[in-house]
Amino acid sequence: MYSMTVFSDLIFPVLEFAQANQVVEIGADTGGMSLMLAEFCFNRGGRLTSIDPAPTPAFRTWATFNPQVHHVDLPSLEALPTLTNIDAWIIDGDHNWYTVYNEITEAEKLCRRDNKPLLAFFHDICWPCARRDMYYAPERIPAEFRHPFSRENGVTLGNAMLLLNRGFRGGNNFAWAMHEGGPRNGVLTAIEDFMAERYREGQEFGFAEIPGLLGLGVLFDLNMPWSGEVANFLLPHHQNKLLRIVEEDRVRNSLRAHDLWDDAREAAAR
């Protein structure tokens, strides 16, 4: 559920509609989605550019021996200015307002420079990252954009603050912002802020929100001839009520499993 591969039946038809062949993936991790993207790009005579400063060793080896894959071993905001002629962006890296807002802002700038339409896919646009920052590397976020955070406390449904030793916790892997909501907080907030700023400048984008398995967002240029096909294809899934209900139930069950594990751990400690 943590990989964008679960959305492959939505992502790849949209890439086909847009005739994309040069694709950037931000956040490779183990390379599950990378493998599918590389095959797609290869079949279209293109190339996958993967950006991740800390993928698994197995991914590094795989990328080294795949000529259709170019891996950039840098944080996304350092790597993006070096890119050219990109057709589509898969954004699944650091899930916080500052990073996502600047990733999509830089991507749109590069698209305008290269006369390319903007087509971007975002993971984690639903709870818990929609309105709450998550930091893999808090030190990379400027202090004025970084919320107070914790690695030990966890996120739970219905609580704007974190709970001690409960819910989904980052531990050594990542940190949560201490509070949910408010300005400049969360992935969906970053996308909405970007779209609002461009709208004030006279530029309008389409955005589809698929509310399942942590959420998929698709941002696309409405001025392109393929935008109607993309909109019609994604419309049945956009803000789908049934998907949202199923996702809420899945999250509640997952949190309940965490509670049972925590209860057992605390009982064993006593």
| Cα 248 to Cα 156, 216, 253, 259, distances in angstroms | 12, 15, 9, 16
pLDDT (tens digit per residue) in 185-194:
999 999 999 9
Q: Does residue 174 fall inside a structural domain?
A: no
Bridge partners of 90, per DSSP, are: 25, 121
Dihedrals phi, psi of 8, to nearest 5 degrees = -60, -35
Q: Does residue 170 fall inside a structural domain?
A: no
Q: What angle do CA 45, 49, 52 make, to 5 degrees?
A: 160
> Which structure tokens are listed for 56?
């698994």
- Residue of 94, 123, 140, 96 lying closest to 211 (CA atoms): 123
Q: Give kind and range of the element (H or E) at residue 50.
A: strand 47-51
Residue 173 burial (CB count, 10 A): 9
Q: What percent of the chain has pLDDT over 70?
A: 100
* Torsion angle of the four alpha carbons 217, 223, 228, 233, in this order, in degrees rounded to the nearest 10: -20
CATH code, domain carrying 94: 3.40.50.150
Q: Does residue 247 fall inside a structural domain?
A: yes
Q: Does residue 257 fall inside a structural domain?
A: yes
Contact 226, 206 (CB under 8 A): no
Mean pLDDT confidence for 199-209? 95
Per-residue confidence band for 1, with pLDDT thresholds at 50, 70 and 90 = low
pLDDT at 2 over 90: no
pLDDT of amino acid 270? 87
Query: How far apart (Å, rounded) are the C-alpha atoms in residues 106 and 229?
Result: 26
Query: How far apart (Å, rounded) are the C-alpha atoms in residues 117 and 127?
Result: 29
Q: Does residue 75 fall inside a structural domain?
A: yes
pLDDT (tens digit per residue) in 49-71:
999 999 999 999 999 999 999 99
pLDDT (tens digit per residue) in 229-267:
999 999 999 999 999 999 999 999 999 999 999 899 889
pLDDT of amino acid 31? 80
Contact 258, 163 (CB under 8 A): no
Domain count, the chain: 1
Q: What percent of the chain has pLDDT over 90?
A: 92
Read off the pTM. 0.96
| Cα 62 to Cα 43, 55, 65, 70, 216, distances in angstroms | 18, 11, 6, 11, 26
Residue 9 burial (CB count, 10 A): 8
Q: Does residue 264 fall inside a structural domain?
A: yes
Task: Give the count of alpha carbons within 13 A of 26, CB side only.
Answer: 28
Query: How far apart (Å, rounded) are the C-alpha atoms in residues 263 and 257?
Result: 10
Tell me the residue range of the domain where 219 lies.
4-132+183-269
Q: Does residue 146 fall inside a structural domain?
A: no
pLDDT at 118 over 70: yes
Contacts of 43 (CB under 8 A, 6+ apart): none
Contact 154, 165 (CB under 8 A): yes
pLDDT at 139 over 80: yes
Q: Does residue 157 fall inside a structural domain?
A: no
